[in-house]
Chains A and B, each alone.
Chain A
Amino acid sequence: MTTRSVIAPALVVEGLRKEFPAHSRGGKALVAVDDVSFTLERGGSLAVVGESGSGKTTTARIVAGLERATSGTVTAAGSGKGTARPVQMVFQDPFASLDPRQRIGAGLTELLRVRIGLGRAAARERAVGLLAEVGLDEQHAARLPRDLSGGQRQRVAIARALALEPEILILDEAVAALDVSVQAQVLNLLRDIRERTTVAFLFVSHDLAVVRQVTDQCLVMRNGRVVEQGPTAEVLDHPRDPYTRELLDAVPRPGWQPRRRSA
């Protein structure tokens, strides 16, 4: 038992397991997430790193409440504002996660009115403020998602998530679809948000360089299991698990040569 004097962490995940029932695998269920445990401190930033099929997105989806765990517990602090959940999520593809027919400002205002219960004027004012926080102005508020660039759309998605004042923001490959020059802008924005607010990040990514920039803690997953866990700098500079090392070696950099796996 921990003492109550310390601030409770934003998120505690214990013994998480997710099986997908088998239809064509000869009756053997697929274990997507296998005994995953971690703690995300308030205002902390935790990366979940892994390749496709590692279970990182399933883990994030369970935390977000989009998927039900087979066993294990997820305890999130706070109750969220209004009827909003304390956990919000930003998805990889901002085009698929925004309503194509709703103007940016109108969407945000609606969200604030329905979820937080703000009045019309207050919601509108807050919407403008939120857009300003992510580097957009009233001009953008009047536009439809299709009239925005990928980077701007992702800013909108971040503003929408922050509107509900969550304790935890899950970013699932949130910068992976962006051009490098724009990705840098959004990464800087995420870093500013961390400095300004107490929202905790659960940052799901395959990109170790990106992870290095916005997280303090890091969890490396492979085939549903956690293979290594620790401070991001420590894990990336002194990887202990061979798989983490393999991931790091595969990142193109000056003098890098692609290699065939010996196995």
Chain B
Amino acid sequence: MNNAPLLELRGVGITAGDRRNRRTLVRDVDLTVAAGETVGLVGESGSGKSMLVKSAMRLLPRHAATSGRIDFEGRSVLGFSRRELSAYRSRDVALIHQDPRAHTNPLRTIGDFLVEGVVAGKLLGPREARQRACALMAAIGITDPEHRLTQYPHQLSGGLLQRMMIVAALLPSPKLVFADEPTTALDVTVQSEVMAILQEQIRERNLGLLFISHDLDLAAAVTDSLAVMYAGTVVERGTTAEVYSRPLHPYTAGLLACRPSATAVTRLKPIPGRPVSAYEVASGCAFAARCPFATEECRKDRPQLRTVEDRLVACHRVEQIGAELAQVVHS
């Protein structure tokens, strides 16, 4: 097996805006996704998780700039020529959006939508593409696939349409799938089903999956490793089981502690304040203003990711606050 990971991000930063008003959206992010690995990218609004995925597909708007390195199988995505980029987008990677309705053309049939990419990318002929799409639909439990091809997006429920997005994403047989909040717009029972289908296909094909979510519980259930983002940076990275059961960063711990439970009534322990974006952060740790453990050092000096117990954590005080953090989560 090839040793280079599928996707490797090193020191990725994203800025946007015009020359006078340049805003930092993502700062110094390192991330890798290997074949057959599911990586979760978790964070609240404005944390930069979607921007990061867009930058990895080079889908950022014109006024946004990416710095650092983004490598796909050892080749620099940021250095791709037009032709390489179109090949990369059509064969190597696929993106599943949050809102399938916003990403399908209401005037074109599902069939047109599904085969457009593979036909335009000359991966398959139109007839073959339709056959493959039908086979794939049948495999993920969509009934009467032939008929579905002739339907329009408005005739399908949200859950069914999102399954079509999965079909469209998998049809070109990509190596890596980005899923940006793929089930956020869906009901819980449908979410369960769509996630099961996605997971099944990803495993069967040994694909890499970068799963973006604001829902730590959901991400924890479906990923192998987790990266928690706050204000445009990764604050904690490690295997899912460890991050979830024993968070080391106060933000991760706070996120875990503030979610309501369906089985017990407790006074919730919210994180004070609101989530901030990278450009709102001056010097020091981005989380310091909301962190119960912050000291003068945290406010002055931005912590870098460092290895603590097989994991990467960006916090000055990991060693001092470990025991208290455990209490925050489990009390």
Q: Smallest Cβ distance from B142 to chain A, in angstroms?
A: 12
Q: Give CA–CA (A250, B189) in the complex, Å.
A: 5
Closest B residue to A189 by CB, please name it: B270
Q: Which 3 A-B pairs have the closest CB atoms?
A: A184-B270, A258-B195, A184-B258
* B residues near A208, Cβ cutoff 8 Å: 188, 262
Given A180-B259, A187-B260, A206-B187, A256 contacting B217 (CB threshold 8 A): yes
Contact of B221 among A182, A257, A260 (CB under 8 A): A257
- Tell me how many residues of A have a C-beta within 8 Å of chain B: 42
Q: Is B16 in contact with chain A by the CB < 8 A criterion?
A: no
Closest B residue to A261 by CB, please name it: B193
B197 touches A260 (CB 8 A): yes
Given A52-B158, A188-B270, A247-B189, A254 contacting B220 (CB threshold 8 A): yes
* B residues near A181, Cβ cutoff 8 Å: 44, 254-255, 258, 270-271, 274-275, 290
Q: Is B264 in contact with chain A by the CB < 8 A criterion?
A: yes
Q: Is A246 in contact with chain B by the CB < 8 A criterion?
A: yes
Contact of A209 among B190, B197, B220, B259 (CB under 8 A): B259
A259 touches B193 (CB 8 A): yes
Contact of A258 among B141, B196, B244 (CB under 8 A): B196
B268 touches A188 (CB 8 A): yes
Closest A residue to B195 by CB, please name it: A258
Contact of A185 among B214, B222, B245, B270 (CB under 8 A): B270
B261 touches A212 (CB 8 A): yes
B263 touches A184 (CB 8 A): no
Q: Give CA–CA (A144, B193) in the complex, Å.
A: 41
* B residues near A210, Cβ cutoff 8 Å: 260
Closest B residue to A182 by CB, please name it: B274
Q: Give CA–CA (A212, B263) in the complex, Å.
A: 7
A253 touches B254 (CB 8 A): no
Q: Is A13 in contact with chain B by the CB < 8 A criterion?
A: no
Closest B residue to A216 by CB, please name it: B265
Contact of A213 among B187, B268, B275 (CB under 8 A): B268
Q: DSSP majority for the A interface?
A: helix
B267 touches A188 (CB 8 A): yes
Contact of A236 among B194, B217, B245, B262 (CB under 8 A): B262
Q: Give CA–CA (A164, B258) in the complex, Å.
A: 31
* B residues near A255, Cβ cutoff 8 Å: 221
B268 touches A209 (CB 8 A): no
* A residues near B290, Cβ cutoff 8 Å: 181
- For the A-B complex with A212-B263, A251-B188, A252-B215 known, give 15 more contacts whose Cβ atoms are closer than 8 Å: A52-B158, A180-B44, A180-B214, A181-B271, A181-B290, A184-B271, A188-B268, A206-B187, A233-B265, A248-B262, A252-B218, A253-B221, A258-B195, A258-B221, A259-B192
Q: Give CA–CA (A254, B222) in the complex, Å.
A: 11
Q: Give CA–CA (A227, B172) in the complex, Å.
A: 43
- Tell me how many residues of B have a C-beta within 8 Å of chain A: 47
Q: Is B109 in contact with chain A by the CB < 8 A criterion?
A: no
Q: Smallest Cβ distance from B34 to chain A, in angstroms?
A: 22
Q: Is A99 in contact with chain B by the CB < 8 A criterion?
A: no
Q: Give CA–CA (A152, B272) in the complex, Å.
A: 12
Q: Give CA–CA (A252, B221) in the complex, Å.
A: 7
Q: Give CA–CA (A236, B277) in the complex, Å.
A: 37
Q: Is A151 in contact with chain B by the CB < 8 A criterion?
A: yes
Contact of B261 among A150, A179, A188, A209 (CB under 8 A): A209
A258 touches B199 (CB 8 A): yes
Q: What are 10 A-B pairs at a CB distance below 8 A?
A: A51-B190, A182-B274, A185-B272, A208-B188, A209-B262, A212-B261, A253-B217, A254-B245, A258-B195, A260-B193
Chain A 222-256 against B: per-residue CB contact (8 Å), 1 yes, 0 no? 00000000000100110000000011111111111
Q: Give CA–CA (A184, B255) in the complex, Å.
A: 10
Q: Is A79 in contact with chain B by the CB < 8 A criterion?
A: no
Closest B residue to A251 by CB, please name it: B262
* B residues near A151, Cβ cutoff 8 Å: 274
Given A52-B158, A254-B220, A179 contacting B267 (CB threshold 8 A): no
A254 touches B274 (CB 8 A): no
Q: Smallest Cβ distance from A200 to chain B, in angstroms?
A: 18
Q: Give CA–CA (A112, B258) in the complex, Å.
A: 34
Q: Is B67 in contact with chain A by the CB < 8 A criterion?
A: no
* B residues near A207, Cβ cutoff 8 Å: 260
A252 touches B187 (CB 8 A): no
Q: Is B45 in contact with chain A by the CB < 8 A criterion?
A: yes
Closest A residue to B186 by CB, please name it: A52
* A residues near B266, Cβ cutoff 8 Å: 213
* B residues near A249, Cβ cutoff 8 Å: 192
| Interface members, chain B 87-119 (any A CB < 8 Å) | none
Closest A residue to B189 by CB, please name it: A250
Q: Is A149 in contact with chain B by the CB < 8 A criterion?
A: yes
Q: Smallest Cβ distance from B74 to chain A, in angstroms?
A: 33
